[in-house]
Amino acid sequence: MMLLEIDDLAIGYGGDKILSKNINLSIESGQLVGLVGQNGVGKSTFIRTICGLQARISGEILLLGKEIDSQNPKSIATQISVVLTGRPDSLNLSVIELIALGRHPYSGWFGKLKKEDKEKIDQAITQMEINYLAKKRLFELSDGQLQKVMIARALAQDTDLIILDEPTSHLDLKNKIEVLDLLRKIATRGKGVLISTHEIQLSSKACDLFWCMDFGKEMLIGHPKTLIDEGALQHYLHIPKGILK
């Protein structure tokens, strides 16, 4: 199933400051896609734009076949969940309380959880393998644990598409591998997953596709191994030869 379609998109800020244009992309259910590029190239702007959090300069964005601008925020929140960089505003929340926030599109602002909501929360905790953290407060968690909880919140939201901005930043190697492996499993279960990442080598093992951004160029799209083997990724991202294998 086609989850996200992007047609002739131009992104930027200030109304006319274009960071990238002529963007034509799509994500299907079951795909894990990595968005890669240098710092400042516009990855976070791209993510915020396709989520409806920032105005685009031009182009079309379709969520499940419908133009995103024609949908209200509640409808969008039942189709796409987002994990941005940064820590939650309140670290005194419990793990369960944070994950339960993912049910707000269905439970409303009063947050009264129904049986289905509780089942989705339990499923998210199990899928992220964080049952042992359920009763802890956020301030008690390591960075890696907190990131898994944030992803669990997105899972509890039960959307077809999950987008994550730098989900492995500030994590040690073990947690980077664990998070990417869990995201791979999520995609395998039928979700579409898009991550922005600087972890080229690690994410190349997990992702089905790379979307590569560079200053003033159209996006380079392809299977990670193919792009690396052909040297296209190294050339596009200005990586010295021999670094990626």
Quote the pLDDT of residue 119: 94
pLDDT for the residue numbered 5: 96
- The reported pLDDT for the residue numbered 110 is 62
Burial of 201 (0-12, 13-18, 19+ CB in 10 A): exposed
Residue 214: pLDDT over 70: yes
Among candidates 221, 224, 169, 159, which has minimal Cα distance to 193?
159
Task: Check residue 116 and give its pLDDT.
Answer: 92
The arithmetic mean of pLDDT across residues 95-108, rounded, is: 89
3-class state of residue 25 by DSSP: strand
Distance CA 73, CA 89 (A): 21
pLDDT of residue 18: 87
Q: Tell me: pLDDT of 111 over 90.
A: no
Query: Where exactly are the structural domains of the chain?
Result: 1-79+160-245, 86-158
Predicted local distance difference test score (pLDDT) of residue 52:
85
Please give the structure tokens belonging to residue 207: 């992702």
Q: Which pLDDT belongs to residue 213?
A: 92
CB 28 within 8 A of CB 204: no
- Read off the pLDDT of residues 161-209 as tens digits, 9 standing for 90 and up: 999 999 998 889 999 999 999 999 999 999 999 999 988 989 999 999 9
Closest Cα to residue 96, out of 131, 63, 56?
131
Average pLDDT of every residue of the chain? 90
Q: Minimal CA–CA distance to 33: which of 4, 70, 10?
A: 4
Q: Beta partners for 60?
A: 7
Which pLDDT band holds residue 123 (cuts at 50, 70, 90)? very high
Cα 56 to its chain centre, rounded Å, is 18
Query: Would you place residue 113 in the very low, low, confident or very high pLDDT band (cuts 50, 70, 90)?
Result: confident
Q: Is the pLDDT of residue 61 over 90?
A: yes
Could you read off the pLDDT of 24-55 as tens digits, one per residue?
Answer: 999 999 999 999 998 888 899 999 999 888 88
Q: Are 198 and 36 in contact (CB under 8 A)?
A: yes
Taking the mean position of all CA atoms in its chain, how far away is CA 97? 21
Helices 115-127 and 173-188, packing angle to 10 deg? 130
Per-residue confidence (pLDDT) for residue 96, from 0 to 100: 94
- Binned at pLDDT 50, 70 and 90, residue 92 comes out as confident
Please, which pLDDT band fits residue 109 given cuts at 50, 70 and 90?
Answer: low
CATH 3.40.50.300 at 1-79+160-245, yes or no? yes
